[in-house]
Structure formats: structure tokens, C-alpha cells
């Protein structure tokens, strides 16, 4: 069997910042809520994570795939599922 090297997994995030503004919606991220649903580490001017290199494991899509979802899904399937959630948040965005 071919022992091919694992390709780097890069989630195609458009950096809209919307998931970081809805951390109250998931049990795993609600502890990050600064009080209005927005993560306390979210940098509003840049729409980026203020602690990106040290962000919690739950915020790491690639790590969550390797740890849990790779048992059930291919990377491509996992990306599609996550993008559906991104698109839902973007469709609800009124800003
Ligand atoms: S909602 Fe999706 S596209 Fe937007 S920042 Fe989060 S992961 Fe990236
Ligand atoms: S820690 Fe960073 S990546 Fe995670 S929700 Fe907060 S701003 Fe977003």
C-alpha cells in the first residue's frame, strides 16, 4: 500500500469573522463569550483572532478534523460541512 505523505489541510476560510462573533451558540466555545456573543479574543478592526497562534483547540478546524472527524469523513466532506455553517452565518449577517 502506498504510504503517501499527508497533505497540509488548509480550510478555505474567507476571514469574515462571523464564527468568532457567535461563540455563545456552541457549548464548547461559550466560555469565550465576552458578554455579547463575541469572543473576547476577537479583534474587531481586523476581523481576525487576536491570539491566532495560541487559539484554543476548539477553534482549530484542522486539529478537530484530525482528532475526531477524520474517523467519519474525508477532509473534503468535512470542509463542505463547515462551509455550510459559514454560509449560514453569512446569510444571517446584516452588518
Ligand atoms: S465563519 Fe467561516 S469563513 Fe467566516 S471566519 Fe469563520 S470559518 Fe472563516
Ligand atoms: S479564540 Fe480566536 S479563533 Fe477562537 S473564537 Fe476567539 S477570536 Fe475566534
pLDDT at 95 over 90: no
Average pLDDT, the chain: 91
Rounded average pLDDT over 58-77: 95
pTM of the prediction? 0.87
Mutation choice for ligand 1 from 48, 63, 86, CB with most ligand atoms inside 8 A: 86
Determine the distance separating the centroid of ligand 2 and the alpha carbon of 3, expressed in angstroms: 35
The minimum-distance atom of ligand 1 relative to the CA of 11 is: 7
Run of H or E including 42: strand 42-43
Q: What integer pLDDT is reported at residue 6 of this predicted model?
A: 57
Q: Contacts from 87-92 at CB under 8 Å and sequence distance 24+? A: 89/16, 89/18, 89/19, 89/22, 90/16, 90/18
- The model's confidence at residue 50, banded by pLDDT at 50, 70 and 90, is very high
Distance 21 CA to ligand 1 centre (A): 10
pLDDT at 59 over 70: yes
Amino acid at each position: 500500500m502506498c504510504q503517501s505523505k499527508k497533505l497540509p489541510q488548509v480550510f478555505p476560510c474567507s476571514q469574515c469573522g462571523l464564527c468568532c462573533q457567535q461563540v455563545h451558540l456552541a457549548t464548547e466555545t461559550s466560555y469565550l463569550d465576552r458578554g455579547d456573543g463575541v469572543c473576547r479574543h476577537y479583534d474587531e478592526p481586523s476581523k481576525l483572532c487576536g491570539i491566532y497562534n495560541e487559539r484554543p483547540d476548539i477553534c482549530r478546524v484542522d486539529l478537530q478534523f484530525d482528532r475526531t472527524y477524520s474517523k467519519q469523513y474525508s477532509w473534503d466532506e468535512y470542509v463542505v460541512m463547515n462551509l455550510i455553517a459559514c454560509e449560514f452565518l453569512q446569510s444571517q449577517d446584516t452588518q
